[in-house]
Structure 1
Amino acid sequence: MVAVLKGAEPFSLQGSDVGVLVLHGFTGSTQSIRYLGEELHSRFGFTVSAPRLPGHGTSPDDMETTGYLDWMGEAERALNELAQGKRKVFVTGLSMGGTLSLNLAARHPGLVDAIAPIAAPAGHLTEAFAEALALNPPPKRIPGIGSDIKAPGVKELAYDETPMACLREVSVLISLTADLLPRIACPTLVVHAREDHLVPPTNPTAIVNAIRADDIRLLWLNNSYHVATLDNDKDLIVERVGGFFTEMARV
């Protein structure tokens, strides 16, 4: 059995009959969304589930054996488990976790009542990301992409190396999800930092323009970078996401 890094463990918190699925990002771990999940539980009373996606929170070697179908499959498993006996189910996630929240909302409209993707890539990649995918011959690994954080002294628990095979896998997930955006009809709060060095700010605009929900909101963060759930605006995210889900739970 592969050892899980300390702080990267999945967690669940029992609360009300309203469930929130919280998903971490690519090469990251539940450490990046633990504060958000715990605050959504303690301050708003939600039942929270935060799975560890396959190949994450272990090692790059382990991650190399996984792909987007594994990550999506675990998110779906956690969604179905959380939905049992719940009156409402919401999904939020950071980065690739935000992409997965969009994907789940598009493919499982009967299960997902509202979403709040945070720093989610939805088709628009950074120049560095695109250049890495175009390298020929492709390297086996490229430098890690974690810890794009403005707050001094804060570090994300993420890999120092990114398996190239997994970078290709996440690019497929992003592309497939971008194609599914017009199928999203549930209330959506899109959260994104104005200065994000991994996911360009063209992404939230693309999401807002593509989905067909009647209730679409966009929250720009002015004091954070990509890993916003660990950054200076983390409490603002809790307040706005928690408030949004509380409002949607009353509908």
Structure 2
Amino acid sequence: MPVQGHAEEFRSPGSGENAAVGVLLSHGFTGSPKAMRPFAEHLAAEGYGVAVPRLPGHGTTWQEMNTTGWPDWYAVLDNELARLRQEHDQVFVAGLSMGGCLALRLAEEHGTDISGLVLINPSVRSDDRRLMVLPALARVLPSFPGIANDIKKPGVDEGAYDRLPLRALLSLSQLWKLTRDDLAKVTQPVLMFRSTVDHVVEPSSGRTVLASISSRDVTETLLEDSYHVATLDNDAPRIFTDATAFIRRLSDVRQVGADA
């Protein structure tokens, strides 16, 4: 299946003193690496090793996405994490929306192999009552209208699908439950950005994460001038700057400990 031009993956090996640190970034449901590319380019310019893989079924067609599920998406990130762990001394994981959920799942499964999490409007649940009948709907309807381009900044297109593939959404709901059930396993430092106006992910997702993880180093930053796809919105520079400072602080702490 041909990949759309905007959906190309991004990788940078790192350079200089920050090359010892790798950062894995995950885009969201029906999106593509395009949503994370400016973030990735900022980190690469700082010298960090960076990887933004394209999750299976994304960046092609929504019909193809309906043939994939959360184990496929997770496997790509899991393999990328293993590669980054081989190439860098520390690895951080960042995710937008569903990417945040996948980042949390990686943290639950890999513990101290991950030095910290950056979550942007992570999704781990939905209050939409229609999801109660999703198992039945997914058998008879292929898709719903899409949820793309929830961006306050004018003229920005994230390049996501204009349809919501229901079989893939059903799989995502299964990932939500699995991740929620194990949130107490998350002990890594967490930096969470949450848009005060988000038309895709309800505030209950962020509240669930903060109430359930075991991390002691937790910062929540509210974004007042962005909608859901905040990495392409008005608050993007703040996300990039604060995330870089978060990564630098935690990598400096580890270096000080190693030198002591």
- Structure 2 length-normalised TM: 0.91
Letter in 2 for 1:61: Q
- 1:197 offset after TM fit, Å? 0.8
1:64 aligned partner: 66
Mapping 1:192-211, distance limit 5 Å: 192-211=194-213
The equivalent position to 1:184 in structure 2, one of 186, 201, 204, is 186
Partner of 1:51: 53
Kept in 2, the 8 Å contact 1:14–1:48? The answer is: yes
Instruction: State the 1:161 CA deviation.
Output: 1.1
Aligned equivalent of 1:218: 220
1:117 aligns with 119
Distance in 2 (alpha carbons) for counterparts of 1:58 and 1:129: 26
Q: Which has the higher helix share?
A: 2
RMSD: 1.5
For structure 2, the residue ranges without an aligned partner over 5 or more in a row are 254-260
Please state how far the C-alpha of 1:129 moved relative to its aligned partner: 5.9
| Aligned partner (choices 25, 33, 44) of residue 41 of structure 1 | 44
- 1:65-116 per-position Cα deviation (integer Å, ceiling 9, x unaligned): 1111000111101111111131110000111111111110111013211001
> Which residue of 17, 21, 25 maps to 1:18?
21
Secondary structure at the aligned position of 1:7 is classed as helix
Q: Residue in 2 aligned with 1:127?
A: 128
The equivalent residue for 2:34 is 31
Cα drift, residue 21 of structure 1: 0.1
Which amino acid is 2:34 matched to? Answer: Q
What residue number does 2:2 align with?
A: 3
CA drift at 1:3: 0.5
Give me the whole-angstrom Cα distance separating, in 1, the residues matched to 2:34 and 2:92: 20
Tell me the SS of whatever aligns to 2:23. Answer: strand
1:210 to 1:38, Cα distance in 2 relative to 1, 3 A: same
Q: Contact 1:195–1:201 (CA<8 Å) still a contact in 2? A: no
> What one-letter code is carried by the residue in structure 2 that aligns with 1:157?
G
Report the residue type matching 1:7 in the other structure. H
Give CA deviations for 1:92-149 in whole Å, capped at 9, x if unaligned: 01111111111101110132110011110123x1427636737657421111111111
**Aligned residue identity for 2:213:** I
Q: Which structure has the larger Rg?
A: 2
Structure 1 residue 202: Cα displacement: 2.1
After TM superposition, where is structure 1 displaced by more than 6 Å over at least 4 residues in a row? none
The one-letter code sitting in structure 2 at the alignment partner of 1:10 is E
Q: Which amino acid aligns with 2:2?
A: A
CA contact (8 A) 1:93 1:101 kept: yes
3-state SS of paired residue (1:39): helix
The one-letter code of the counterpart of 1:4 is V
Matches of 1:171 and 1:248, distance apart in 2: 32
Counterpart amino acid of 1:200? Answer: E
Could you tell me which residue of structure 1 aligns to residue 172 of structure 2?
A: 170
Counting only pairs closer than 5 Å after superposition, residues 134-149 of structure 1 correspond to structure 2 as 136=137, 138-149=140-151
Q: CA deviation at 1:152?
A: 1.0
Paired residues of 2:96 and 2:121 also in contact (CA < 8 A): yes
SS of the residue 1:109 aligns to = helix
Looking at structure 2, the residues matched to 69 and 215 of structure 1 have their Cα atoms a distance apart, in angstroms, of 29
Distance 1:129 1:90 in 2: 35
Distance 2:23 2:130 in 1: 30
Give me the whole-angstrom Cα distance separating, in 1, the residues matched to 2:161 and 2:109.
30
Amino acid at match of 2:128: E
Cα distance in 2, alignment partners of residues 98 and 132 from structure 1? 25
Q: Report the counterpart of residue 258 of structure 2 in structure 1.
A: none
In the alignment of these two chains, the number of paired residues is: 248
Change (3 A) 1:46 1:132: farther
1:222 is aligned with what amino acid? E
